[in-house]
């Protein structure tokens, strides 16, 4: 109980949050009404009932359907503002927010609408917030390159790029050219790797894409040499415990490998991924792992420290938080 108090009160950084995954069912229905979008579910409760996933793909199908209510700049603003208010309650002082522009531009929403709405909410919040644009890996690299071009007028509003959506069958090397261009632009690079995909995808995210941080990465322990290398190089893993159990990466929280990741010397962090879909925000994730795993106050401090250390904040701002 004391540990729970300490863990929830600690200042933290959130490094793995898909903003479209923060869209709560109530807001989905409110935006559907505002925009005259017809939903496949009759009520908030019916939609929430559908949140029973068997793997990543079964989640993605419903997550993309939920995002279909986002049309106007104000919709993107309202979604982001609601998330940043939750950050304040959870003592999240800094958030590096993923967004998926292709989910919206494919429906005819302009890149400008997406980026401006999300960015304006970040500017209006007391929480430090920066943006990472993600490419959808189930689409082609040509589509990703066109998306990067469309985002170039907003280069100043992005700190980095990432890679998300269906992992297996879409290895990192599929996006070698677009990541090389992003690197030349001075953008920070991250990618989802080793969530459902094998350790080989983690290796190619590092060696081909040259990512600075691994999103999920929990399957890394299947490769001891790779684990040792990532620990030595200080490359962080943005672990998402509630996501991992909801998407059956681990059957139950007591099976989660967070303790082993830390014991292996990896710079692991705790994050929420898609909090509206997976049953909780930052503190819910911390509470869930501390309830189910043999974690101590020392681990809590390490995880909070890791979250700022692994962030893309400039060194002097990191020092303020650490
Ligand atoms: N994995 C891949 N793509 C995603 C995820 C995830 O956990 N969440 C939202 N898009
Ligand atoms: Zn994710």
Q: Can you give the pLDDT at residue 61?
A: 96
pLDDT of residue 322: 82
26 an active-site residue?
Answer: no
Q: One of 20, 73, 195, 196 is an active-site residue; which one?
A: 195
Q: What are the pLDDT digits (tens) for 113-133?
A: 999 999 999 999 999 999 999
Binding residues for Zn(2+), as ranges, are 16, 18, 192, 273
Count Cβ atoms within 10 A of the Cβ of residue 106 and give its class: 0-12 exposed, 13-18 middle, 19 or more buried. Answer: middle
2 pLDDT tier (thresholds 50, 70, 90): confident
Residue 4, token pair as written in the block: 């729970």
Q: What is the pLDDT of residues 133-154, one digit of tens each?
A: 999 999 999 999 999 999 999 9
User: What's the DSSP call for residue 273?
Assistant: B
* Residue 93, pLDDT above cutoff 90: yes
| CA-angle at 310, arms to 315 and 287, nearest 5° | 130
Write down the pTM of the prediction.
0.98
Confidence of residue 1 (pLDDT cuts 50, 70, 90): confident
CA 241 to chain centre: 12
Q: What is the pLDDT of residues 180-222, one digit of tens each?
A: 999 999 999 999 999 999 999 999 999 999 999 999 999 999 9
What is the predicted pLDDT for the residue at 245?
98
Average pLDDT, the chain: 98
Backbone angles phi, psi at 52, to 5 degrees: -130, 110
> If you take atom 2 of ligand 1, which residue's CA is the nearest one?
165
Long-range pairs, 219-228, Cβ under 8 A, ≥24: 219/194, 219/195, 220/194, 220/261, 220/266, 221/257, 221/260, 221/261, 221/264, 222/198, 223/199, 226/199, 226/202, 227/264, 227/266, 228/264
DSSP classification of residue 38: P
* Section 162-191 average pLDDT: 98
- How is the chain split into domains, by residue range? 2-311
Q: How many other β-carbons are positioned within 10 Å of the β-carbon of residue 146? A: 15
CB 180 within 8 Å of CB 211: no
Annotated binding site: 16, 18, 192, 273-274
Q: Which atom of ligand 1 is nearest to the CA of 274?
A: 8
**Tens of pLDDT, residues 221-272:** 999 999 999 999 999 999 999 999 999 999 999 999 999 999 999 999 999 9
CB 266 less than 6 A from any atom of ligand 1: no
Summarize pLDDT for 46-80 with one digit per residue, the tens. 999 999 999 999 999 999 999 999 999 999 999 99
Nearest listed ligand to the Cα of residue 164? 1
Query: From ligand 2's centre to the CA of 193, what distance in Å?
Result: 10
User: How far, in Å, is the centroid of ligand 1 from the Cα of 192?
Assistant: 8
Q: Is the CB of 273 under 6 A from ligand 1?
A: yes
% of the chain surpassing 70 pLDDT: 100
Closest ligand 1 atom, residue 100 Cα:
10
CATH of 2-311, one of 3.20.20.140, 3.30.2130.30, 3.30.70.940, 3.40.50.10210: 3.20.20.140
């Amino acid at each position: 109980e004391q540990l729970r108090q300490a863990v929830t009160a600690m200042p933290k950084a959130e490094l793995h949050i898909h903003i479209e995954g923060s869209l709560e069912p109530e807001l989905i229905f409110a935006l559907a009404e505002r925009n005259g979008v017809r939903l496949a579910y009759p009520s908030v409760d019916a939609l929430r009932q559908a949140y029973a996933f068997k793997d990543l793909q079964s989640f993605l199908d419903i997550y993309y359907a939920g995002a279909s209510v986002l049309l106007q700049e104000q919709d993107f603003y309202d979604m982001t503002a609601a998330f940043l208010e939750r950050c304040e309650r959870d003592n999240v002082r800094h958030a590096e927010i993923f967004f998926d522009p292709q989910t919206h531009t494919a429906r005819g929403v302009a890149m400008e609408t997406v980026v401006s709405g999300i960015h304006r909410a970040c500017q209006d919040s007391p929480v430090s917030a920066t943006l990472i644009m993600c490419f959808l890996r189930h689409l082609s690299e040509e589509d990703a390159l066109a998306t990067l071009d469309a985002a170039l007028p907003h280069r100043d509003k992005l700190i980095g790029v990432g890679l998300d959506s269906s992992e297996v069958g879409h290895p990192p090397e599929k996006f070698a050219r677009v990541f090389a261009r992003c690197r030349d632009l001075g953008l920070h690079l991250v990618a989802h790797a080793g969530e459902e995909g094998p350790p080989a995808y983690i290796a190619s995210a590092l060696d081909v894409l040259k990512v600075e941080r691994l999103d999920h990465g929990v399957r890394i322990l299947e490769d001891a040499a790779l684990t040792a290398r990532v620990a030595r190089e200080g490359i962080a893993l943005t672990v998402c415990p509630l996501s991992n159990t909801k998407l059956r990466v681990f059957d139950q929280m007591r099976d989660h490998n967070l303790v082993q990741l830390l014991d292996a010397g990896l710079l692991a962090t705790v994050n929420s991924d898609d909090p509206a879909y997976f049953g909780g925000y930052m503190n819910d994730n911390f509470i869930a792992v501390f309830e189910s795993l043999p974690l101590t106050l020392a681990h809590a401090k390490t995880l909070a420290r890791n979250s700022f250390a692994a962030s893309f904040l400039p060194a002097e701002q990191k020092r303020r938080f650490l």
